[in-house]
Chains A and B, each alone.
Chain A
Amino acid sequence: MTATHDTLPFHEVQAVDVSKIYDRIVALRRVNFKATAGTITGIVGPNGAGKSTLFHILSTLVAPSSGRVLFDGSDVSAWQPRSALRGQIGMLGHQSFLYPDMTGEENLTFFGTLFGIGRADLPDAVKRVLECVRMDHAKTRRVKHCSRGMTQRLAFARVLLQDPTLWLLDEPTTGLDVDTRAAMLDIISSQKVNKRIVVVISHDPEALHVVADRVLRLDRGRIDDNGTGDT
């Protein structure tokens, strides 16, 4: 919410012929995929189709078995230090990335510091994202005592705080009440204006209908439709 289009470190992420094999189990088969700044890409597909694997590879935390992931045309290894690139990739995964023994607020403060938010701005920034996900009333509750939906909201708040260039959202609306879901979809939609690259995995066709510019189908490790979209 601070960086403008010109200051973003990259404007396009591309997977070229990406395959991933885990000990003879093929998770992705020659996936070609491109997402550009200011677009929201939805990804649907049955369980075990390779959606999470695709996210982990796009996040650069998992290396593909073959193929490449390019940011503005350059390989991950071209980014030095790599952590500068990784700091611009935000992920909301199956796991919340929150320490169970710390409160929501403490978690956000911890990650906020790592994201590079200044000490002076941090309390306000944390407060703002907590309000965004309607969690400010329970910010002092330890994450392990939070319900599934609350944890999900905090995890989303963590990504909001990071405000990354690439947003990888895996089932962002699971376990949320109607109001929060609407608010979250609003926030996701607004990333188009902010020129972020957003990729959303969802089993919620309605949600994708609202936010996504195009929807790709991932099945048995393959993307069927090559980017023409069928929203």
Chain B
Amino acid sequence: MVHSVKTKSSAAFLLLVVATGAVFLGALVLTFFVAPTERMMGIVQKIFYFHVPSAIVMGVLFLVCAVASLAYLLKNDSRLDAIGATAAELAVVFGAIALITGPLWARKAWGAWWTWEPRLTLTLLSVFIYAGYLAMRAYGGEKEFSRRVAAGLGLMGAPAYYFIKVAVDKWGGNHPKNVVYGKGEGLMNPDMRLAFFAGLIAVLMLTVTLFVMRYRTRMLKERVDTAISEMQKYDLLEDG
């Protein structure tokens, strides 16, 4: 019974992987062959189709991490901790993608690799918070304790994200307004819009796939740890 359930879920997961691959491929095709190359930016503009979705996903993952962290502090369930940790980890990954692709864009658009543009600044600072979350788990001491401490940070991360956003927006207000986001002229073209939405869905599906994968790995590790300690408790295994 257990075996069959596992097979079924693996089949579903495999399907998810295949679907993600297909959608990603489709998004790439739309990006490079269907959507027209933007006049001013040239080929670099195509970064947009993955840069923006990565940043969006990062924000969503922050929220997931914060909610899971709060629930973990209240319920002390290791599954909630695994959700929080996975979300933080992927948030850092997608934040990093946004941070790497951002400067590529900036170089072409404004002639400088880095321009303290509010959203990029926000992304950078948020990645710091969640990198801190991961560092806390790694170096914070005993496992259960460092998890709780990290959860506290994970919970604080979401309102911090909001306040940082307000602050850098106000701060960036003194800089020349840029037109990259919001009503960027690039998205007036329907093919571009299609590519963008395909990119968004592809990145979202990639996130879900990675999330499931990492979550399962964590829970598996948790189960191994539990099994080992259970065996130790009943003297079926040597210590250490």
Residues of A in contact with B (beta carbons under 8 Å apart): 19, 21-26, 29-30, 63, 65, 220
**Bound Cα distance A130, B33 (Å):** 87
Is A25's CB under 8 angstroms from B240's CB? yes
Residues of B in contact with A (beta carbons under 8 Å apart): 142-144, 225, 228-229, 232-235, 239-240
**Bound Cα distance A139, B226 (Å):** 49
Contacts known (A19-B229, A30-B233, A65-B229); A25 close to B239, Cβ less than 8 A: yes
Give the Cβ gap from B189 to chain A, nearest Cβ, in Å: 56
Is B232's CB under 8 angstroms from A21's CB? yes
Contacts known (A24-B225, A25-B239, A25-B240); A19 close to B142, Cβ less than 8 A: no
Is A23's CB under 8 angstroms from B232's CB? no
**Bound Cα distance A30, B144 (Å):** 19
**Bound Cα distance A22, B228 (Å):** 12
Is B142's CB under 8 angstroms from A24's CB? no
**Bound Cα distance A65, B229 (Å):** 10
Give the Cβ gap from A70 to chain B, nearest Cβ, in Å: 18
Give the Cβ gap from A221 to chain B, nearest Cβ, in Å: 8
Give the Cβ gap from A27 to chain B, nearest Cβ, in Å: 10
Q: For residue A25, which residues in chain B have a CB less than 8 angstroms away from its CB? A: 239-240
**Bound Cα distance A24, B230 (Å):** 10
Is B143's CB under 8 angstroms from A23's CB? yes
Q: For residue B240, which residues in chain A have a CB less than 8 angstroms away from its CB? A: 24-25
**Most chain A beta carbons < 10 A, residue from B142, B225, B229, B240:** B229
With A23-B143, A24-B225 given, can you name 13 additional A-B contacts, CB distance below 8 Å? A21-B233, A22-B142, A22-B143, A23-B142, A24-B228, A24-B229, A25-B240, A26-B233, A29-B233, A29-B234, A29-B235, A65-B144, A65-B229
The A interface is mostly helix, strand or loop, or mixed, namely strand
Give the Cβ gap from B77 to chain A, nearest Cβ, in Å: 14
**Bound Cα distance A30, B230 (Å):** 10
**Bound Cα distance A90, B239 (Å):** 32
**Bound Cα distance A22, B145 (Å):** 10
Q: For residue A23, which residues in chain B have a CB less than 8 angstroms away from its CB? A: 142-143
Contact among B229, B234, B235 for A21, CB-based, below 8 A: B229
Is A26's CB under 8 angstroms from B142's CB? no
**Bound Cα distance A150, B193 (Å):** 78
Q: For residue A24, which residues in chain B have a CB less than 8 angstroms away from its CB? A: 225, 228-229, 232, 240
Show 21 residue pairs from A and B whose CB-CB distance is below 8 angstroms, ordered by the A residue: A19-B229, A19-B233, A21-B229, A21-B232, A22-B142, A23-B142, A23-B143, A24-B225, A24-B229, A24-B232, A25-B239, A25-B240, A26-B229, A26-B232, A26-B239, A29-B232, A29-B233, A29-B234, A29-B235, A30-B233, A63-B144
Q: For residue A19, which residues in chain B have a CB less than 8 angstroms away from its CB? A: 229, 233
**Can you name the residue of chain B whose Cβ is closest to the Cβ of A67?**
B233
Give the Cβ gap from B166 to chain A, nearest Cβ, in Å: 36
Give the Cβ gap from B15 to chain A, nearest Cβ, in Å: 36
**Bound Cα distance A26, B236 (Å):** 12
**Can you name the residue of chain A whose Cβ is closest to the Cβ of B225?**
A24
Give the Cβ gap from B147 to chain A, nearest Cβ, in Å: 12
Give the Cβ gap from A101 to chain B, nearest Cβ, in Å: 25
Give the Cβ gap from B229 to chain A, nearest Cβ, in Å: 4
**Can you name the residue of chain A whose Cβ is closest to the Cβ of B237?**
A26
**Most chain B beta carbons < 10 A, residue from A19, A23, A24, A26:** A26
**Bound Cα distance A193, B92 (Å):** 61
**Bound Cα distance A93, B118 (Å):** 53
Give the Cβ gap from A219 to chain B, nearest Cβ, in Å: 12
